[in-house]
């Protein structure tokens, strides 16, 4: 585990040594702030309209009417930003020739894969940490519930973990960062819209595609519900993505 953490630290330093981390975090902060102000404005206007009709504050739920749509809308942004995080993990190593040094170091393939995964997750966690400032304002001036919000963050971490695990695998297949980023975005988009044609495939096909949809599993987390089937789905997806990456790295080692 110590070696994996060392690789994670190296990856995190690499992100901040290049413009990637600053671009990703800055762009995410800008977009989140924009969505936050827009949804907050809508929420306040809705509350004022309800007050005009004699409906009290008890009819206004900050978590369901503001936080939930805000977080679900922001997952669209992850489709574009997470490929920027994962595209360099292996592709850059191959392009610069440092992949040979990494594979010949006294490290196991699992330590390499896990370390890169943890490094990418640390940057993703830093992105999510920025949003705490905005929600802190809600707690200062409103009365949201913290437990559903904590559950939502758990769901977002698992959601991002799935994308990152697949992004690592795609990056391990090429030495070109642009190709890795574009292909990763394509896979993410497919997982996003996979349930759109479910109704045309009948009840069984619709149920299967709905289960494969990543956003469908996230919705319960954002509502404050932790369901075992959603945990199993996300953890299994992450494990599968890391397994594919592990096989790809093992193949690269034998080719070397």
* Each residue's pLDDT tens digit, 2-46: 888 888 888 888 888 888 889 899 999 999 999 998 888 888 787
Average pLDDT score over the chain: 84
Rounded-to-integer distance, Cα 256 and Cα 188, Å: 30
pLDDT at 18: 82
Which residue, 175, 183, 3, 10, is CA-closest to 93?
175
Query: Are 177 and 18 spatial neighbours (Cβ–Cβ below 8 Å)?
Result: no
* Each residue's pLDDT tens digit, 43-88: 878 767 666 655 555 556 778 888 888 888 888 899 899 999 998 8
pLDDT at 91: 82
Residues 6+ apart with CB under 8 A from 220: 155, 226, 227, 230
Which percentage of the chain shows pLDDT scores above 70?
A: 89
Q: Residue 105's CB: how many other CB atoms inside 10 A?
A: 12
Task: Check whether 235 has a pLDDT greater than 70.
Answer: yes
What pTM value is reported for the model? Answer: 0.88
pLDDT at 94: 80
* Each residue's pLDDT tens digit, 159-199: 999 999 999 999 988 888 889 889 999 988 888 877 776 66
Which residue, 165, 138, 141, is CA-closest to 152?
138
pLDDT at 138: 83
pLDDT at 249: 83
């Amino acid at each position: 585990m110590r070696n994996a953490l060392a690789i994670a630290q190296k990856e995190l330093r690499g992100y901040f040594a290049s413009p990637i981390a600053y671009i990703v975090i800055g762009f995410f902060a800008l977009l989140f702030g924009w969505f936050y102000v827009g949804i907050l404005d809508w929420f306040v206007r809705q509350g004022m309209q309800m007050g005009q009709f004699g409906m009290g504050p008890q009819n206004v739920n900050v978590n369901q009417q503001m936080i939930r749509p805000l977080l679900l809308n922001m997952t669209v942004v992850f489709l574009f930003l997470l490929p920027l995080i994962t595209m360099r993990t292996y592709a850059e190593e191959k392009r610069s020739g440092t992949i040979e040094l990494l594979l010949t170091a006294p490290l196991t393939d699992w330590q390499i894969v896990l370390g890169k995964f943890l490094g990418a997750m640390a940057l993703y966690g830093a992105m999510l940490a920025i949003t705490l400032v905005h929600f802190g304002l809600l707690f200062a001036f409103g009365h949201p519930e913290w437990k559903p919000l904590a559950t939502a963050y758990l769901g977002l971490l698992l959601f991002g973990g799935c994308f990152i695990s697949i992004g690592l695998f795609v990056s391990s297949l090429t030495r070109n960062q642009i190709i890795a980023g574009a292909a990763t975005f394509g896979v993410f988009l497919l997982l996003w819209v996979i349930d759109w044609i479910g109704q045309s495939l009948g009840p069984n096909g619709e149920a299967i595609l709905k289960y494969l949809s990543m956003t469908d599993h996230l919705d319960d987390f954002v509502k404050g519900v932790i369901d075992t089937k959603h945990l199993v789905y996300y953890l299994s997806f992450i494990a599968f993505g890391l397994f594919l990456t592990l096989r790809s790295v093992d193949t690269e080692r034998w080719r070397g």
